[in-house]
Structure 1
Amino acid sequence: MRIAAAALALSFTAAACTTPDAASQSASMTQPMVSPILTTAQAFDDQTYAQPQVARVTHVDLDLDLDFEGQQVGGKATLDVLAAPGAKEIVLDSNGLQIASVTDGAGRRLSYSVGAMSDDGGKGAPLTIQLDGAERIVIDYRAAPNAAALQWLTPEQTAGGEYPYLFSQGQAILNRTWIPTQDSPGIRQTWEARITAPKPLDVVMSGVRQGEPEDLGNGRRAFRFVMDKPVPPYLIAIAAGDIDFRAIGSRSGVWAEPVMLDRAWREVNDTEQLIEAAEELYGDYRWGRYDMIVLPPAFPYGGMENPVMTFLTPTFIAGDKSNNGLIAHELAHSWSGNLATYSSWRDGWLNEGVTSYFENRITEQVYGKQRAEQEYALSYASLVEGIEEVGADSPTTAMRSPDAISPFETEGVAIYDKGTVFLRTVENMVGRDRFDAWLTQWFDNHAFEPVTSEMFLADLREKLIGNDAQLEARLMLDEWVYGTGLPSNALQPDPQTFAAVDNAVAAYVADGTLPTANTWTGWTAAEQRRFLERMPEERTDEQLAALDARLGLSEAGNNEVLFLWLEAALRNQYDPAVPKAERFLSQVGRNKFVSPLFTALSESDWGKPIARRIYAETRDSYHSYTRGRVDATLGMTAGE
C-alpha cells in the first residue's frame, strides 16, 4: 500500500562558521514523511527478517551513550510503528543486541523473543515484539562490544594519537548490530538521536546537528541530530573523536582530526563546484548540507554516502585532487542511492552503477572531458578484466543479482562498472539531452522512495523508448540488467584516450623501454594507473628495480598508484618491496588495497609467511569487513 505524505518544509542554512551547528539548523519531527513499501517480487529483501506489509518502522529515536572503555553503545531506541489492521507483532532485525526490556510509549512492558541466529551469523536473528495495540515501542538495550558495524580505535590508531575514536559502517546489513530496527533498504525511516560522549570528543552523524552540544556536568556532553527525510537504515551513521570542522561554502565543509584538517580541506575545497555541477545535471540537492568527515585509516571503504555527512578514507588524499572522483561519487549518491534507493540488495547496480555514471558526468563538468574519458576507459577495462576472471557465463556478472546466489556474491565490476557502461551505452544511443531529461525525472518521481530494476526498465521503456521497436532492440536492456557477461553493444572507450600511454606500454613490452621520469610525472594519475595495469604481470627483480628507479613508484604520493606498484612487486616476490608494503598495510585499512595485497602474498610459498606475520600485527586495526576477507584469504582468525 502506498502511503503519501508531504515533505516538511525545512531550510538548513549555514554561514561559513567554526562549526555547522553554530547556524540555525533546527528541524521539527512532528509530521515525518512516510515512504511507500514495495510489494513486487523484485522488492523482496531476503536479507531481513522484517515483515513490513504487516508492521513497519517509520521513525527511530535513539538516546545512546558512547562507552569508550567498554567499547559499547547503549541506551534506548524508540520506534514508531505503522501496523496493518489486526497485526499482533512486529519483527525487527538484531545481531548480538543485548535487550534489557521492551515497553510501549506509556511504559507498559511488551513481550518479545529473539529467534535463532542465521547459519553464517551475518543476518543475525529476528527480534519479534508483541504489539498489544502499541504504536510506539521503546527498547532498552546495549550493543555487543564486538558489534560489527562499530570500530573503536585506541589513541594510537588515530592521526593525533591522544584520544580514542569511534566510527560506524552500516552497509550492507551491519547496522542491526547496534540499532534495533528493520534493517532493510526498502523500509525507509526518518530518525533522530541524542548521543552522549566524554569530553572533549565531538560527535557527528548522518543527520543535521541541532544546536550546540549540551554540557551534562559529569565530564560528558550530549549531541542531538535529526534526519527528517526517510532513509534506508544502513545510512544511519556515527563518528566520534578529536575532530574539528572547516567550512568550504555556505552549505559544505569538512571534519577531520586537527592534524589532518589542513590536508583534508585543501583536497576537497572545490566541493561546492561539484555540488553545483551535480545540480546543473540532475536537479536540486535536497539534503540541506553536504559535509564530509575524513576518518582514520582503518575505515574499510573509499567513501560512504551517509546523508549530510559523507565518510571518507584518508587514502584518497594525494595533494592534487587526482582522486576526487571519490567525492563526486559520494555526492552523486545524494541522488542515486539516497534519493531513489534500491529496495533489496539484489539491485546494487541501481545505487552504484547509476552513481558511477553520474560521478563521471560530474567529473567531466568540473575537471574536463579528457579526465572523464580516461576514468571511463579505466572502468571499462576493469569490467572486461573482471568478467574474464570469473567467466562471461558466471551469474555473479549479472547486474541484477539472480536468486541462485547471495546478492553479496555479485562481482563489484557488475555493480559499479557494468552499470556505468550500460548507462553510457544508453546515453550514446538516445542522445545526451534526452537521456539527461529522463534521468532527472527518474530522480524527481522516486525521491525518498525504494525502486527496483523492474521499475527502472519500465520507466525507460515508457518515457524514453516509447514505441520505437528498433531502439528497443538496439539497447538490449534485459540482456544488460539480467544477463551475464558484457553485451555486444557496449560503448567502448575512445582508443585515443590513452594512446600515448598504450604506446609507451607497447614499447616497454617490446624492448624494455621505460617512459622518462619527466614523461611519467607529466602524466595524470589515470595515465600512470593505465601504464601499471597494462604492463606484463610477470617481471624479474631487475625489471622491477628498473621500474622503481626510473618512475619512483615506491615513493608515489597517490595511493592508487602506490597500491598498483606494491601489488605487482609482491605478486613477483620482489623482496625490496616488502618493507614498504608492510608500512602501507600497517597504515591503511581500506579493503580495496588491503585484501588484494594479502592475496598477492598468499599466492606463493615466498609470500605466505610474510602475509601471516604482517597480518598478525595489523589485523586488530582493520574493520570487521576487511578482517573477514583477509581471514578467508589467509585462513587465520583472531589470536593466531
Structure 2
Amino acid sequence: MATSLTSSWDHQYDYHSSANADTVCVSHLELNLEVDFSAKQLIGQVTLYFDLNKESSSQHGQLILDCRDLTLISVSDLQGQQLDFSLVDVGDILGQKLVIKINQSIRAVTVHYATSPHAQGLQWLTPEQTLGKQQPYLFSQSQPINARSWIPLQDTPKARVTFDATIKVNNGLRAVMSALNNPQMPKDGIFHFVMDKPIPTHLLALAVGDLAFEATGPRSGIYTEPAMLASAVKEFEDTEAMIKVAESLLGPYAWQRYDMIVLPPSFPFGGMENPMLAFMTPTLIAGDKSLVSTVAHELAHSWTGNLVSNATWRDLWLNEGFTTYFTNRIVEAVYGKEQADLEWVNEYTRLESEMQSVDLIDQTLPANVQTRDPNQAFNRFTYDKASMFVHELEQRFGRESFDAFLFQYVTHFAFKAITTEVFMAYMLQHVLPNCPDKLSEVELKEWVYGEGLPHWFVPPSSSSLDKVHLALMEIEHKKPAKMLNVSDWRVHHWQYFLNQLPQVISQEQLLDLDDTFLFSQSKNAEIVCDWFRVAIRNHYDPVLEPLSAFLISVGRAKFVKPLYSELLVAGYKQEVEQIYAKARAGYHPSLQVQLDKLLSW
C-alpha cells in the first residue's frame, strides 16, 4: 500500500545540515590549504562568497555553516576585519554549526582553521599502508556529510558551489582534486585547481600521494600509485568507449575530462563520482574487466547525480536509481546484452535478499533517514529497487520514447538539486499526460512511496542463467562439485550461483566446493565476499583465516559491513573482536564510525 504524500516531515528541508543555505547561499569557495602529514592535518583558510535571499532579510544577520571537529582560528571579512562567531554542538551525526555574525555589506568571509587528525572525511595512511611502502597518502571521502570535517561550509547537496583551490604539499607528492588536474608536476609543490561548474558539496574531493598518470583516451586517464598503474590502465581501457555511449543517450559530457584515481584498498566505496576525478577502489581490478561496471556507474553519475542531484539524503534514489539503470545501458552497449542482463538479475537478487531483513517502512524509494545517519540511505532500495522502477519505465514507454524522456529530464534539471516531490510533479505535469495508457498516477506513487515491490512487478531474468539453475539443482542432489559443467561461466554466473545456494549446506559440500573451485583463494573481491557469507552462515571454519586476512586488507564498506554482520549473527563474537582490533586502523574514519556502532566497539 502506498504511503501518503503528506506527513510531518518538510520534504524540502535538509535535516542533515544546520546551514541557512535557503537565506544566505554560498556559491563559491576559495581554498588555501597546506597538507601536514606529520600532524595529520590540513591547515589554512577558506573564503566563502555568498548571496543573500532578499525575501528573507530578517535572517541576514548571520551565516551558518556546518563543521565537525575543526579547530577554528579566526573569521574575518575580505578587508581582514574580525567577525564574531560561535561554535555550537548539534549532535554526533551533524557535528557542529558555525554561526558567523554578518551585516548587509558583507558578501564573503574567510575562515582560518585546521582539521582534526581524526577528521571523518580524511584518511591519513602511513607509508606501510600503501602499495609502494615509501610515502604517506591522504584521501578524502565527503559523501554524504563529511565535507564539513575538512572544510567549514554549507554541507548540503542543495547548496551547489564552484571553487578554486591552492594545495601546498611539502614532500614531493602529487595532489589531485575533483577539478581539472594537470598531469605535469609543479616543481614548488604548490598545486592549483579550478572547478568552474557548480557542484554539490559532497563532491568536493582531495587526494595526495605518490601518484603516476597515464591516459586512457583523449579526455580520460588514470592516477594511481606507480606499481598499480599498468594493471589499472589495462582494466579500464574501455573508458572512452563508455563516455561515447553515455553521450549518445544523455547528451554531451559536461565536465571536460573524466579522469579516475585508483586509491588504496581502505577506500570505503566501490567508486565515488567526484567530477573530473572519480575515486575508485582497487578491488575492481580483477584482470578480466568483469567488475568495470562500477566505472560505468561513476561515469553515469556525471549526468544523474552530478548534473541532476538529490536535494536531501532522503532523495538519494534519484541519484542512484537512475545511475544504476544507466550503468546497465552502458554495459549493454560496450560488453553486450548477456552481461547487462546478468548484472540486472544480480541487482534483483541483492534486493530480494535485503527485503527479507529490512522493515517494510524502510522499503520505499525515499530513504526515511531524516533523524538518522544519512549513511543508512545507501541501501539496496535507493539503488536496486529504484533501478527496477526505472527499468519498468523503459518497458512501459518503449526504449526510444524513454531515451527521449531521459534526455529531456537531465536537460531540464541540469545543475539543479531536486527532491522526490519535484520529480513527481515533473512526471505528473510533463510525462504522464502524454502517455496516459502507459503508466497511471496510482502506479507511479506505488513505485515511489509504496513499501516493497509493486504486486505486478515481474523480476528480470536471463536465459544465460539456465546452466546455473541446473548446477544448483545438482548441488541440491549432492552431486560432486567436479561434475558440474562450469567451463563457460562468467563472474556474474558465479555471483548468482553463490547467492542462490541453499541457506543450509553440509560441511562436506562446502569443503568439496572450496577444494574444487578455490573460492576462499579467489582474487575477485565480489566472488570471495559472496563465498565468505555462505561459509559464515554455515559455520565453515576453514574460511576464518582467509576471511580475517580479507577484512584486514580491504576497507570497502560493501564487503566489510555485511561480513561483520554475518559473523555476529552466526555467533562469532570473539572472532569479530579479534579481527576488528587488527583491521580497524586500516579503515577509513567514516567507516570506523559506522562499524564502531555496529560492533559496539
Which one of the candidate residues 499, 515, 520 is aligned to 1:554?
520
State the partner residue of 2:6.
Answer: none
State the partner residue of 1:347.
Answer: 315
Contact residue 397 and residue 411 of structure 1 kept, 8 A: no
Are 1:108 and 2:81 counterparts? Answer: yes
- 1:157-213 per-residue CA deviation (whole Å, 9 max, x = no partner) reads 001111000000000001100101100001100011000112321111001136855
Separation (CA, whole Å) in 1 of partners of 2:583 and 2:296: 31
State the partner residue of 1:145.
Answer: 117
Name the amino acid aligned to 1:129: I
Separation (CA, whole Å) in 1 of partners of 2:456 and 2:574: 46
Pairwise CA distance, 1:114: 0.8
Name the amino acid aligned to 2:250: Y
Pairwise CA distance, 1:417: 0.2
Greater shift after overlay, 550-559 or 331-340? 550-559
Distance 1:154-1:611 versus aligned 2 partners, 3 A rule:
same
Pairwise CA distance, 1:326: 0.4
Pairwise CA distance, 1:618: 1.1
Contact residue 314 and residue 370 of structure 2 kept, 8 A: no
Separation (CA, whole Å) in 1 of partners of 2:583 and 2:376: 26
Name the amino acid aligned to 1:52: A
Pairwise CA distance, 1:551: 1.3
State the partner residue of 2:213.
Answer: 245
Contact residue 170 and residue 236 of structure 1 kept, 8 A: yes
Are 1:540 and 2:503 counterparts? Answer: no
Are 1:496 and 2:468 counterparts? Answer: no
**TM-score, with length taken from structure 1:** 0.89
Contact residue 516 and residue 550 of structure 1 kept, 8 A: no
State the partner residue of 1:438.
Answer: 405
Which one of the candidate residues 142, 146, 150 is aligned to 1:178?
150
Separation (CA, whole Å) in 2 of partners of 1:82 and 1:359: 37
State the partner residue of 1:127.
Answer: 98
**TM-score, with length taken from structure 2:** 0.94
State the partner residue of 1:633.
Answer: 598
Separation (CA, whole Å) in 2 of partners of 1:471 and 1:128: 51
Pairwise CA distance, 1:446: 1.2
Separation (CA, whole Å) in 2 of partners of 1:435 and 1:461: 15
Are 1:136 and 2:108 counterparts? Answer: yes
State the partner residue of 1:333.
Answer: 301
Name the amino acid aligned to 1:53: D
Contact residue 16 and residue 370 of structure 2 kept, 8 A: no
Q: Give the secondary-structure state (helix, strand or coil) at the position aligned to 2:156.
A: coil
Pairwise CA distance, 1:457: 2.2
Separation (CA, whole Å) in 2 of partners of 1:475 and 1:341: 25
Pairwise CA distance, 1:377: 0.7
Q: Which runs of 5+ in 2 are unaligned?
A: 1-8
Contact residue 432 and residue 441 of structure 2 kept, 8 A: no
Distance 1:569-1:211 versus aligned 2 partners, 3 A rule:
closer
Pairwise CA distance, 1:275: 0.5
Name the amino acid aligned to 1:112: F
Separation (CA, whole Å) in 1 of partners of 2:483 and 2:426: 51
Separation (CA, whole Å) in 1 of partners of 2:510 and 2:160: 51
Separation (CA, whole Å) in 2 of partners of 1:356 and 1:211: 31
Pairwise CA distance, 1:521: 4.8
The alignment-based identity, stated in percent, is 39
Q: Give the secondary-structure state (helix, strand or coil) at the position aligned to 1:106.
A: coil
Contact residue 432 and residue 440 of structure 2 kept, 8 A: no
The RMSD of aligned alpha carbons is 1.8
Name the amino acid aligned to 2:532: L
Q: Which runs of 5+ in 1 are unaligned?
A: 1-39
Separation (CA, whole Å) in 2 of partners of 1:534 and 1:446: 40
Q: Give the secondary-structure state (helix, strand or coil) at the position aligned to 2:93.
A: coil
Which one of the candidate residues 449, 458, 464 is aligned to 1:482?
449
Pairwise CA distance, 1:465: 2.1
Separation (CA, whole Å) in 1 of partners of 2:52 and 2:410: 28
Contact residue 302 and residue 312 of structure 1 kept, 8 A: yes
Contact residue 554 and residue 562 of structure 1 kept, 8 A: yes
Q: Give the secondary-structure state (helix, strand or coil) at the position aligned to 1:492.
A: coil
Which one of the candidate residues 546, 564, 570 is aligned to 1:580?
546
Pairwise CA distance, 1:288: 0.3
Greater shift after overlay, 415-424 or 447-456? 447-456
Pairwise CA distance, 1:511: 2.9
State the partner residue of 1:390.
Answer: 358
Contact residue 426 and residue 475 of structure 1 kept, 8 A: no
Contact residue 305 and residue 334 of structure 1 kept, 8 A: yes
Q: Give the secondary-structure state (helix, strand or coil) at the position aligned to 1:528.
A: helix
Pairwise CA distance, 1:586: 1.7
State the partner residue of 1:270.
Answer: 238
Contact residue 520 and residue 551 of structure 1 kept, 8 A: no
Contact residue 112 and residue 127 of structure 1 kept, 8 A: yes
State the partner residue of 2:3.
Answer: none
Are 1:465 and 2:417 counterparts? Answer: no
State the partner residue of 2:133.
Answer: 161
Separation (CA, whole Å) in 1 of partners of 2:569 and 2:324: 31
Distance 1:145-1:270 versus aligned 2 partners, 3 A rule:
same
Are 1:234 and 2:202 counterparts? Answer: yes
State the partner residue of 2:555.
Answer: 589
Name the amino acid aligned to 1:182: Q
Are 1:570 and 2:530 counterparts? Answer: no
Pairwise CA distance, 1:404: 6.9
Counterparts of residues 398-409 of structure 1 (less than 5 Å):
398-402=364-368, 406=372, 407-409=374-376
Name the amino acid aligned to 2:190: A
Are 1:284 and 2:252 counterparts? Answer: yes
Distance 1:515-1:425 versus aligned 2 partners, 3 A rule:
farther
Pairwise CA distance, 1:610: 1.7
State the partner residue of 2:4.
Answer: none
Name the amino acid aligned to 2:521: E
Pairwise CA distance, 1:382: 1.6
Contact residue 427 and residue 435 of structure 1 kept, 8 A: yes
- 1:65-103 per-residue CA deviation (whole Å, 9 max, x = no partner) reads 001010001101011011134422111101111111111
Pairwise CA distance, 1:600: 2.2
Name the amino acid aligned to 2:122: L
Pairwise CA distance, 1:516: 4.3
Separation (CA, whole Å) in 2 of partners of 1:203 and 1:408: 27
Pairwise CA distance, 1:460: 2.4
Counterparts of residues 441-460 of structure 1 (less than 5 Å):
441-460=408-427
Distance 1:464-1:586 versus aligned 2 partners, 3 A rule:
same
Name the amino acid aligned to 1:96: D
Contact residue 97 and residue 177 of structure 1 kept, 8 A: yes
Are 1:359 and 2:327 counterparts? Answer: yes
Name the amino acid aligned to 2:427: L
Pairwise CA distance, 1:147: 0.5
Contact residue 520 and residue 528 of structure 1 kept, 8 A: no
- 1:589-622 per-residue CA deviation (whole Å, 9 max, x = no partner) reads 11111122222222344x2222211111111100
